[in-house]
Chain A
């Protein structure tokens, strides 16, 4: 029942399930990705404080990389703003689809906490929400998610610091493997979506993204998202395979 509030023990139990799920592949993936970002940021000439603050407050890998790349190139503020906004635009559909699963209104937690909750939502946490629904009751999704993202958030920031300092010691091929890990992990995560329409959207987006990139550059995210997403939802609704 989504309108029944959790007691203290139930809240903590759901949070513990999320904490445990946060360890393992998700933390490993984020840790290693952020090693890659730490290395990129150092090459770009950012100091350690700005580098860690970027992970903490941008909290979206593609936008972070765009920022570091463009900063190194001496791009203007307008260019940086536009590129990061484009690279991290997926936060909009992700929050729109992800936040209702947490029943924020029923939890009555106040605006500031809701803003923090929305800020922490990035690909890994968002993709985990579907799994959360099978593991905890509907009202437990929020504490599950908070437990999960807190582990992942700490791992990512540790990875950023490690990457910043370890890039001299660790040979390049190791860093390359580390950076390769995250997109691969996320592709598998979204490919395993339960809803048929979403799986079709993943397939179409995965084709359209790289296909339109040589032509459109970073705008290919829009082509993949709007093109793949629209075709998928139309096909699903026309063939009676719309989500329940």
Chain B
């Protein structure tokens, strides 16, 4: 079976849409049934948190996108700065976030203009 060329990206996108949609539909179907099972519900919650944290920290440490062009030390320094400020400022998400972005942007600018190798 061959598709007309113009439809290939659309059909591939369709597969990506279905691959994501099935999880949400399964979640919609199961949500009410699981809510009454305390331990199971707590477990699903911790799995969600651990999965999200694992994926996001993986992306920071081992990015597959354009961030990978920045040196590992820059990404880690910004991450450490964000966590440190977040912790010192009473878990302030906005201040931690601003610190991380500022450190990453400064390091990127320093490299761009030749202040750092």
Contact = CB atoms under 8 A, between A and B. Distances in A.
Interface string B46-90: 111111111111111111111101100001001100110010000
B115 interface: no
A30 interface: no
Contacts of B61: 210, 213
Contacts of B75: 180
A67 B83 CA distance: 31
Given A57-B17, A229-B43, A233-B42, A90 B48 contact: yes
Interface string A149-191: 0000000000000000000000111011101110111111111
Contact of A88 (B20, B39, B104): B20
Contacts of B109: 173
Contacts of A206: 53-54, 56-57
B105 A225 contact: no
B52 A177 contact: no
Contacts of A230: 43, 46-47
A188 B86 contact: yes
Interface stretch (A3-11, A12-20, A94-102, A137-145): A94-102
Contact of B42 (A64, A193, A236): A236
B111 to A, nearest CB: 7
B49 A202 contact: yes
Contacts of B47: 93, 201, 225-226, 228-230
A84 B53 CA distance: 18
A154 B8 CA distance: 27
B12 A67 contact: yes
A45 to B, nearest CB: 8
A205 B49 contact: yes
A136 interface: no
Place the interface of chain A in its size category: 35 or more
A233 B65 CA distance: 33
Contact of B16 (A64, A93, A119, A184): A64
Given A115-B25, A220-B58, A233-B43, A177 B31 contact: no
Interface residues of B, number: 74
Contact of B66 (A175, A232, A233): A175
Interface in A223-244: 223-230, 232-233, 236-237, 242-243
A118 B27 contact: yes
Interface of A: 25, 36, 39-40, 46-47, 50, 53-54, 57-60, 62-67, 69, 71, 77, 80-82, 84-85, 87-97, 99-100, 104-105, 114-115, 118-119, 121, 123, 126-127, 171-173, 175-177, 179-181, 183-193, 195, 197-206, 208-210, 213-214, 220-230, 232-233, 236-237, 242-243
22 contacts: A40-B65, A57-B17, A64-B16, A71-B12, A84-B19, A84-B20, A90-B48, A92-B24, A95-B31, A173-B111, A173-B112, A180-B70, A183-B57, A187-B53, A187-B82, A205-B53, A209-B53, A209-B54, A223-B54, A229-B47, A229-B51, A233-B43
Interface of B: 9-13, 15-28, 30-32, 34-35, 38-39, 41-67, 69-70, 75, 78-79, 82-83, 86, 91, 93-94, 96-97, 100-101, 104-105, 108-109, 111-112
